[in-house]
Amino acid sequence: MKISQLAEKTGVSARSIRHYEKKNLLTAKRLENGYRLFQESDVERVKTIQIYLGLGLNTDQIEEMISCTDYCPELEMDELCSEMLEVYEKKLKEINQQMDTLAHVKRRLEEEIAKFKEVQEKLG
């Protein structure tokens, strides 16, 4: 199928699909006219990429996950799951650190707003 067909089937833009190909997340055959030719299995691949992106993984992390399943089909599910678990735990740790930082900034902003309102009430 052509890139436009893949985009339509997945709801992902052709631009994103080209980006995924550039990042080695997808591989397309090239026709003589230069058009990309995708397989039906690429529909599921793009959906998987979207799931990983939705989990906050970047394209390098996604490539590792996909490469593992593509090039190591002999891996037992337990081994694969432990690798996935490590990536997920690392991402969760990053998100928790970001949330802690944002919570701290939020508290400081709330304190500054409260001080500002207090001054306004005294003045006016």
pLDDT band with cut points at 50, 70 and 90 for residue 84: confident
Distance CA 53, CA 48 (A): 9
pTM here?
0.67
R_g over Cα of the chain: 23
Identify the burial level of 26 via C-beta atoms within 10 angstroms of its C-beta, where 0-12 means exposed, 13-18 middle and 19 or more buried. Answer: buried
Question: For residue range 26-54, what is the model confidence (pLDDT) as tens digits?
Answer: 999 999 998 999 999 999 999 999 999 99
Average pLDDT over all residues of the chain: 88
Report, as an integer, the average pLDDT of 7-34: 94
Which among 20, 87, 88 is positioned nearest to 59, based on CA atoms?
Answer: 20
